[in-house]
Structure 1
Amino acid sequence: MSRVLLRGAQVITMAPDRPDTERADVLVEGDRIAAVGEGLDGTGAEVVDVTDRIVLPGLVNAHLHTWQTALRGVGADWTLADYLGRLHGSVAPRYRPEDMRIGTLAGALSQLDRGTTTVGDWCHNTLTPDHTDAALDGLRASGVRGVFLYGTPYSAAYPLRDVDRLRGGPLLTIGMAIRGPQLSTPDTAVADFRAAAERGLVASMHQSGGEPGPGWEAVRAAGLLSPATNVVHGAGLTEEWFKTLVDAGASVTCTPENELGQGHGWPVIAQLLRLGGAPSLGTDTDAVTPADVLSAARIALACGRHHDHREAPGPFSLEATITAKQALAWATVEGARALGLADRVGRLEPGLQADLVVLDSFGPDPIAAALYARDVEAVMVAGRWRKRDHALLDVDLGAVRERVRESAAHLAG
Structure 2
Amino acid sequence: MAKTYLLKGGLVATFDDKDNQARTLRADVLVKDGVIADVAADIPVSAGVEVVDCTDKWIAPGMVDTHRHTWMAILRGSQCDWLLTEYLVKNSWNMQGDLTPSEVRIGQLAGCIDALQCGVTTILDHFHIANSPEHSEQALQATIESGARVIFAPARQSPPTKILPTFEFGNEAEAHKWQLDQLQEWGKKDGGKLSPDGRVTLGFAYDLVIYGFDIPHKEIVSLARSSNASIITAHVVQAWRDKELLGPDVVFSHCNSLAYRTAPDDEAWAAMKEHQCAIASTPEDELGMAHGNPVAFDGVDRGVKCGLGCDAVSINSGDMFTQMRFALQWHRGRWNEQILQSKSTSPKHVKHTSADAFRLATLGGAEALNMSHLIGTIQVGKRADIVIYDATSLNLAGIQDPIQGIVFNASNADVETVFVDGEIVVDKRVPGKVGLKGGIEWKNVAKELRARGEDLRKRWPLDKLEELWDEYYTKNGAPAI
Q: Settle same-fold status: TM greater than 0.5.
A: yes
**Structure 2 counterpart of 1:344:** 374
**Structure 1 counterpart of 2:236:** 207
**Structure 1 counterpart of 2:158:** 153
**Structure 2 counterpart of 1:308:** 335
**Structure 2 counterpart of 1:39:** 42
Q: What is the 5 A alignment of 1:210-289?
A: 212-213=238-239, 215-219=240-244, 224-237=245-258, 239-289=266-316
CA gap 1:153/1:329 in 2 versus in 1, 3 angstroms: farther
Distance 1:203 1:350 in 2: 29
**Structure 2 counterpart of 1:408:** 453
* Contact in 2 for aligned 1:358/1:376 (Cα 8 Å): yes
Q: Which moved more, 1:80-89 or 1:313-322?
A: 313-322
* Contact in 1 for aligned 2:68/2:312 (Cα 8 Å): yes
* Contact in 2 for aligned 1:207/1:235 (Cα 8 Å): no
Distance 1:107 1:194 in 2: 30
**Structure 1 counterpart of 2:54:** 50
Alpha-carbon shift at residue 304 of structure 1 (Å):
1.8
CA gap 1:147/1:163 in 2 versus in 1, 3 angstroms: same
Q: What is the 5 A alignment of 1:81-120?
A: 81-120=85-124
Query: How many residue pairs are counted as aligned between the two chains?
Result: 405
String of CA shifts for 1:164-205, please: whole Å, max 9, x gaps: 112512210100000154346696443333223333421100
Structure 1 residue 69 corresponds to structure 2 residue 73: yes
Q: Which amino acid aligns with 1:205?
A: A
* Contact in 2 for aligned 1:57/1:348 (Cα 8 Å): yes
5+ residue gaps, structure 2:
161-171, 460-481
* Contact in 1 for aligned 2:74/2:104 (Cα 8 Å): no
Structure 1 residue 8 corresponds to structure 2 residue 38: no
Structure 1 residue 323 corresponds to structure 2 residue 353: yes
Distance 1:199 1:93 in 2: 26
Distance 2:22 2:255 in 1: 32
CA gap 1:404/1:253 in 2 versus in 1, 3 angstroms: same
Distance 1:183 1:192 in 2: 15
Q: Which amino acid aligns with 2:199?
A: L
- Supply the RMSD in Å over aligned alpha carbons: 2.0
Q: Which amino acid aligns with 1:217?
A: D
Alpha-carbon shift at residue 296 of structure 1 (Å):
0.4
Report SS of the residue matched to 1:327: helix
CA gap 1:254/1:140 in 2 versus in 1, 3 angstroms: same
Match of 1:163 among 161, 183, 204: 183
5+ residue gaps, structure 1:
none
Report SS of the residue matched to 1:348: coil
Distance 1:343 1:406 in 2: 42
Q: Which amino acid aligns with 1:35?
A: D
Distance 1:188 1:254 in 2: 28
**Structure 2 counterpart of 1:143:** 147
Match of 2:419 among 371, 376, 380: 380
Q: Which amino acid aligns with 2:448?
A: R
Structure 1 residue 174 corresponds to structure 2 residue 202: yes
Distance 2:362 2:420 in 1: 14
Structure 1 residue 196 corresponds to structure 2 residue 224: yes
String of CA shifts for 1:314-362, please: whole Å, max 9, x gaps: 3765421111111111111121222232222111122211110001134
**Structure 2 counterpart of 1:364:** 400
CA gap 1:127/1:349 in 2 versus in 1, 3 angstroms: same
Identical-pair percentage: 29
* Contact in 1 for aligned 2:16/2:377 (Cα 8 Å): yes
Q: Which amino acid aligns with 1:110?
A: D
